[in-house]
Amino acid sequence: MIKNVGGVDRILRIVVGLVLLSLVWIVPTNWGWLGLIPLLTGLVNFCPAYTLLGMNTCKVDPKV
């Protein structure tokens, strides 16, 4: 899998994912489960939408 999510983007995705997931317990809503998407893409450094759009925020060699 080719890495296409860089440093700041990765941190923001993880933080946003955790904040959205916390909504599941703070405010009883199912919308918080959408936080799994940015959390997982931040943890694995890969975003399928970036591949479709031809974007890459990773500054290092993407094949490593």
Q: What is the pTM of this model?
A: 0.85
Looking at residue 2, what is its pLDDT?
87
Model pLDDT for residues 3-39, shown as the tens digit of each residue: 999 999 999 999 999 999 999 999 988 999 999 999 9
pLDDT at 63 over 80: no
Looking at residue 17, what is its pLDDT?
97
Residue in the structure block whose two tokens are 């909504």: 23
Query: Distances from the Cα of 56 to the Cαs of 15, 19, 25, 29, in angstroms?
Result: 20, 24, 33, 32
Instruction: Indicate the burial class of 50 (C-beta count within 10 angstroms; 0-12, 13-18, 19 or more).
Output: middle
> CA–CA separation, 41 vs 55, rounded Å?
14
SS3 category, 59: coil
pLDDT at 64 over 60: no
pLDDT at 62 over 80: no
